[in-house]
């Protein structure tokens, strides 16, 4: 039994905490901590990359060049090559950076670059830094490497009262994250897209893989990506590692991790990937001229880092607005690949208006069995029937254990989840980046995307799209008269199994009990604005 005085002690404290939580939490500002504003080197700085790329850009009328990264292996090798050949600077911006096999190998390569004098800036969303605080301690100990965390929940200088106020009164600090992904070498080459850094994104993990898409950029657009990085790096939301409330990294743990980094890099060097690393494909293809890149008109779109401090109703989303602009000028076709698809009523109305002009819409998203976030699927499922009724073609990516489809863009591993975010308008315009068609990307998180005007690049993505929506890789969702009553059409999922036999389902296929229950549960709440 509780002491009789317990309520007398607790109730006043609860009242104080509630009052604090109702107070507007004062925004914490990174400029209150010791840090120096730094910027990308000038695009015309003499480097090996510059000497190869500048003539190609001039030859192609000043346009930027692009190379799709469609496999996990090539995604890893491309990043390692850019890091290996960087001579002046490396700027690295990610939502997630893992300390697994490939993550440690990449960090080891970054350390080697810093050892030869390359200036390294690493900006990671603070929500994920606590998972890799040992690795960040190792990196930040190098004089040529600086670590910053974006949008931390709390920081070291805050008093206990201030932290409680933040925890209770500043919910945006939890929900609004930096979702951008970019790696930039010498302000000449960049990799942007959907992949974070870790085994699951490079198809190395033995039990799970995110199937994703990136692009290598060369030319003027890379300088735009660098300017975006600078804005984030110097923003009031980018805190030096010393200001972050990370666990203390013990010297023995740091030493052990350094050994793991060396071992991970050595293991990869001795594997078949090591042979590919030694070929240095990117540099050799640059020597050959136009073989690597497709040059095309383009532009870079990115959210402001200040987006996370704005009310959701007032935020602007340049990546999404770029897609909207293209769709509103089109009356032909929109192909959308988005792993997290929550259109809400306004999105459904937008699509209905576009389709009334004659636009054909095809959407590929995750099935309930394949998604890694069943809560998001609950937000999508409630609009599924309405979209089908108005003519949207819906395809849901299957979870296919142990089977790999021919298309490397969305291939399956032992358990896979679609993670690519790419949109093709009129088989000409490509919008590729980190943003999904959901409220989180549009209103909460910061995102980026490249917009490319290239029928050639669009054709590659369309081909892979058409292969992936086929019945062995995806379910086609439609409304069919199952019982002979036209007025009561049922939702049907159609596909083929691994032996080519037809499969038909009238509920979400093969989700497992827990996913079914959790999706049903979350569907009872109005959570769309947080999905």
Active site residues: 179, 181, 186, 419, 421, 426
pLDDT, position 446: 97
29-36+47-288 matches 301-530 in fold = yes
> Can you name the residues that pair with 431 across neighbouring β-strands?
423, 451
Taking the CA atoms of 450, 453, 454 and 455 in sequence, report the sign of the dihedral they define.
Answer: positive
Summarised one tens digit per residue, pLDDT across range 153-193 is 877 766 666 666 665 656 666 788 999 999 999 999 999 99
Q: Tell me what pLDDT residue 129 has.
A: 82
Q: What is 12-73 written as a DSSP string?
A: HHHHHHHHHHHSPPPPP-GGGSS-----PPPTT---HHHHHHHHHHHHTTT-EEEEEE-SHH
In whole angstroms, give the CA distance from residue 83 to residue 237.
26
Give the other-Cβ count within 10 Å of 361's Cβ. 19
- Whole-structure pTM value: 0.89
Which CATH superfamily is 301-530 part of? Endonuclease Chain A (3.30.870.10)
**Quick count: other Cβ atoms within 10 Å of Cβ 505?**
15
Residues 476-505: tens digit of each pLDDT: 999 988 665 555 689 999 999 888 899 999
Q: Given this model, what pLDDT does residue 499 score?
A: 86
- Alpha carbon distance 54, 377 (integer Å): 45
pLDDT < 50 positions in the chain: 1-6, 9, 11, 13-14, 17-18, 20-24, 402-414, 531
Q: What is the DSSP string of 418-461?
A: E---EEEETTTEEEEES--SSHIIIIISB-EEEEEE-HHHHHHH
The correct CATH number of 29-36+47-288 out of 3.30.870.10, 1.10.150.20, 3.40.50.970, 1.10.238.10 is: 3.30.870.10
Domain positions in the chain: 29-36+47-288, 301-530
Distance, in Å, from the CA atom of 45 to the CA atom of 510, rounded to the nearest integer, reads: 55
């Amino acid at each position: 039994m509780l002491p009789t005085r317990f309520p007398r002690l607790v109730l006043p404290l609860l009242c104080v905490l509630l009052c604090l939580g109702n107070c507007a939490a004062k925004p914490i500002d990174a400029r209150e901590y010791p840090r120096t504003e730094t910027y990308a080197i000038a695009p015309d700085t003499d480097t090996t990359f510059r000497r190869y790329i500048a003539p190609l850009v001039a030859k192609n009328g000043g346009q930027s060049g692009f190379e799709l990264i469609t496999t996990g292996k090539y995604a890893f090798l491309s990043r390692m090559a850019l890091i290996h050949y960087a001579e002046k600077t490396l700027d690295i911006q990610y939502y997630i950076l893992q300390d697994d096999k490939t993550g440690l190998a990449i960090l080891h390569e970054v350390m080697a670059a810093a050892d030869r004098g390359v200036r390294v800036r690493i900006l990671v969303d603070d929500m994920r830094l606590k998972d890799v605080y040992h690795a960040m301690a190792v990196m930040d100990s190098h004089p040529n490497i600086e670590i910053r965390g974006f949008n931390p929940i709390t920081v070291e200088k805050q008093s206990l009262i201030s932290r409680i106020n933040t925890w209770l009164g500043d919910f945006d600090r939890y929900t609004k994250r930096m979702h951008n992904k970019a790696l930039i070498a010498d302000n000449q080459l960049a990799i942007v897209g959907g992949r974070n850094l870790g085994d699951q994104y490079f198809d190395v993990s033995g039990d799970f893989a995110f199937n994703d898409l990136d692009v290598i950029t060369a030319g003027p657009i890379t300088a735009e990506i660098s300017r975006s990085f600078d804005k984030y790096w110097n923003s009031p939301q980018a805190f030096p590692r010393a200001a972050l409330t990370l666990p203390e990294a013990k010297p023995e743990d740091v030493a052990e991790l350094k050994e793991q980094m060396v071992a991970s890099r050595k293991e990869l060097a001795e594997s078949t990937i090591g042979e590919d690393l030694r070929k240095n494909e990117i540099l050799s293809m640059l020597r050959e001229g136009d073989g690597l890149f497709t040059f095309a008109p383009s532009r870079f779109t990115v959210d402001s880092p200040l987006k996370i401090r704005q009310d959701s109703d007032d935020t602007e989303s340049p990546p999404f607005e770029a897609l909207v602009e293209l769709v509103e000028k089109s009356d032909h076709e929109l192909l959308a690949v988005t792993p997290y698809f929550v259109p809400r009523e306004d999105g459904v109305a937008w699509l209905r208006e576009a389709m009334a002009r004659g636009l054909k819409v095809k959407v590929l998203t995750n099935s309930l069995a394949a998604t890694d976030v069943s809560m998001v699927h609950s937000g999508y499922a409630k609009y599924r029937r309405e979209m089908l009724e108005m003519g949207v073609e819906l395809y849901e990516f299957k979870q296919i254990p142990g089977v790999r489809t021919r298309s490397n863009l969305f291939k399956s591993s032992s358990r896979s989840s679609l993670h690519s975010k790419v949109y093709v308008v009129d088989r000409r315009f490509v919008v590729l980046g980190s943003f999904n068609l959901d409220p989180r990307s549009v209103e909460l998180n910061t995102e980026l995307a490249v917009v490319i005007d290239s029928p050639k690049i669009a054709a590659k993505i369309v081909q892979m799209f058409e292969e992936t929506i086929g019945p062995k890789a995806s379910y086609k969702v439609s409304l069919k008269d199952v019982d002979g009553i036209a007025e009561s059409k049922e939702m049907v999922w159609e596909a083929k199994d691994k032996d080519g036999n037809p499969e038909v389902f009238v509920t979400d296929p093969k989700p497992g009990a827990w996913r079914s229950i959790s999706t049903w549960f979350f569907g009872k709440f109005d959570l769309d604005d947080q999905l």
